[in-house]
Amino acid sequence: MGTPRETYSALLAERKQVWSAAVARHEQFGYLRLVLFAALAYVAWKTLYQAAWPAWYLLLPVGAFVVAALVHNRVLQRRDEAARSARYFERGLDRINRNWSGVGSDGLAWLPERHLYASDLDLFGRGNLFQWMNQARTRMGEKTLANWLLHPAPVQEVREREAAVRELAPDVALRERMYMVSEAVAASVHPEPLRRWAEAEPEMPPQSWRGLVIGWNAAFALGLATGFLTGFWSIALLVLTGMAGFGLWLRPRVLHALHAAEAAAAELEVFGAALAVFENRTFQAPKLQELTKALRADGAAPSARVRQLAKLAVWITSRDHPALRVIGPVMMLGTHLAFAADSWRAANGPLVGRWLSAMGEMEALLSLSAFAFENPELVWPEWADAPEPYFDGEALRHPLLDPARAVPNTLALSLADPFVLVSGSNMSGKSTFLRTLGLAVVMAHAGAPVAAQRLRLSRLVVGASISTHDSLQEGASRFFAEISRLRDILALAESGEPVLFLLDELLSGTNSRDRRMGAEGVLRGLRERGAIGLVTTHDLALAEVSQSRQVHFADSLLDGNIHFDYKMKPGVVPGSNALALMHALGLPVGEG
């Protein structure tokens, strides 16, 4: 296997070749079917109109036409599969070439109204991390991946995800196959209604009543036999009357049970095809073994269980056949099928939720494995087992920036050196660096590799105040939104969670005096609660109250233009570019 780009390019060329061959065969079969139709018309004229040939001669062109149609359908299926497969590798190459923005789900449906870092780190939305990572086609997969990004997992769980992702990363064929089948799942499976149906109370009376229905059938058969042998039909009529009354009483429940089971079977049949992709595979990673074990409860694979319901659905549909419309009510066929549907649900309903969850986890793991495969320059984090917060990153860069253009920076934080005050001029890279750290922590806890040369960290929960804004709906100013977020971050640290705080322009919405006093109190509270983190500021006076290590991002003015190197340097920034920037934009101010 070569580089990801070489691998995808080669496979794309193969799929396009298969597609081209299938298109050519499709055209050939189109002409062949025309020829066979003409041959059928000629043989029909010779046999039926002229009576020159035996009638059985018609079987030859009819048989040839049927065989050609079946083979043609397989050619069309191969053509469509090759097209979908080619689309998968084209999208993969787009991601490798960083042309993925705007393609696929942006994940905004999973963005909580209030969260400690989701909006600040730009996890969701066009061109953001979720859209880049996500390859799930179903709501279950998207929801699982979003939850992994929103809720940092314990280190043991992260290690299990990492092992699974590492094992899946080189398995391009498995991801391709899942992409092919999950397209149908995304279009036709509605997980929450399906879960509710599977876990709902039985529609029908207890299964013991099924013996009563069988007894009615046996009594009616005995009555019919008596009538045919003796001419005494009263028993049959009496039993039939009782059956009719019993059937009318149960009819609403029977119809509801049958319609619900038929709809569920249609969804589960598609869903079972997706589960079958990996239900019989053998994996080494404990996480993957756990998922496949969850699918094969009691030894039976989901696809086999779904086939049982699918066969039942065929019988339910067949009740519309004219013959069964006549004899079905006499046999109480619908009632038998409704009891059978309830019996299937009683045995398998509790497993459906497990199947849906397993599908979601597998899709999320496949998304992360593709992400790891397509970005081999990323590194796997090292985990410190110490309970106190710890972060040590070397050559960290923002993952959404082109690696060729992103400027790496190094930072270490621990309880021995918990705070860093980042000063710097406008547009120098302070906020981007905060997001870089936050995204590294979020990606690591989701089970993904990170954009760094090396990263060692403990379990951390990010608390960020970077892009808080006012809300007209809630009547909240930006300052109120910021102090509300600070309160939540302090409460999180108070709860004992290991917090990494990322605070951009701390308390910039108030006057200098209140800002200094407020900042001093917030930072003291975070320090006392064992949090680590960064604070950026334009206000150099905050350096006096921060009691922390200080770094800065600087700029230079060359030929009237401001230049940034985006490199973090020790100490407080020596000056500000605000006046120079305003002057460069033509505002009537003096040069700074």
Listed in sequence order, the residues at least 6 apart from 288 whose beta carbon sits closer than 8 Å to its beta carbon are: 164, 167, 168, 365
Query: What Rg, from alpha-carbon coordinates, does the chain have?
Result: 34
Q: Where are the beta strands (DSSP E) in 258-303?
A: none
Q: What is the DSSP letter of 473?
A: T
Question: Which are the contacts of 293, defined by CB distance < 8 A and separation ≥ 6?
Answer: none
At residue 538, the 3 state secondary structure works out as coil
Between the CA of residue 4 and those of 363, 368, 465, 489, what are the distances in Å?
20, 15, 37, 40
Which residues, other chains included, contact 523 with Cβ-Cβ below 8 Å and sequence gap of 6+? 419, 535, 545, 546, 547, 548
58 Cβ neighbours under 8 A, 6+ residues apart: 40, 43, 44, 47, 48
Torsions phi, psi of 388, nearest 5? -80, 155
C-alpha–C-alpha distance, residues 108 and 142, integer Å: 11
**Bridge partners, residue 454, by sequence:** 394
Dihedral (Cα; 298, 301, 302, 304), 10-degree rounding: -110
DSSP 506: T
**Cα angle 145-147-153, degrees, rounded to a multiple of 5:** 100
User: What pTM does this model have?
Assistant: 0.85
pLDDT of residue 576: 61
| Token output for 385 | 């087992």
Show pLDDT as tens, one digit a residue, over the chain (592 residues).
Answer: 689 999 999 999 999 999 999 999 988 888 888 888 888 888 888 888 787 888 888 888 888 888 888 888 899 989 988 999 999 999 999 999 999 888 888 999 999 988 999 999 989 999 999 999 999 888 889 999 999 999 999 999 999 999 999 999 999 999 999 888 877 776 667 778 888 888 888 888 887 777 777 877 787 777 777 777 777 777 777 777 877 787 788 788 888 888 888 888 888 877 777 888 887 788 999 999 988 887 776 667 787 888 888 888 888 888 777 777 777 777 778 888 888 888 888 888 888 888 888 888 999 999 999 999 999 999 999 999 878 899 999 999 999 998 888 899 999 999 999 999 998 877 788 899 999 999 999 999 999 999 999 999 999 999 999 876 544 344 456 778 888 898 999 999 999 899 999 998 877 666 667 777 777 888 889 988 999 999 988 766 666 655 678 898 887 766 666 778 889 888 887 766 666 666 665 666 654 4
List 499's β-bridge partners, or say none. 461
CB 527: neighbour CB atoms within 10 A? 17
3-state secondary structure of 355: helix
Q: How far apart are CA 225 and CA 248, in angstroms?
A: 25
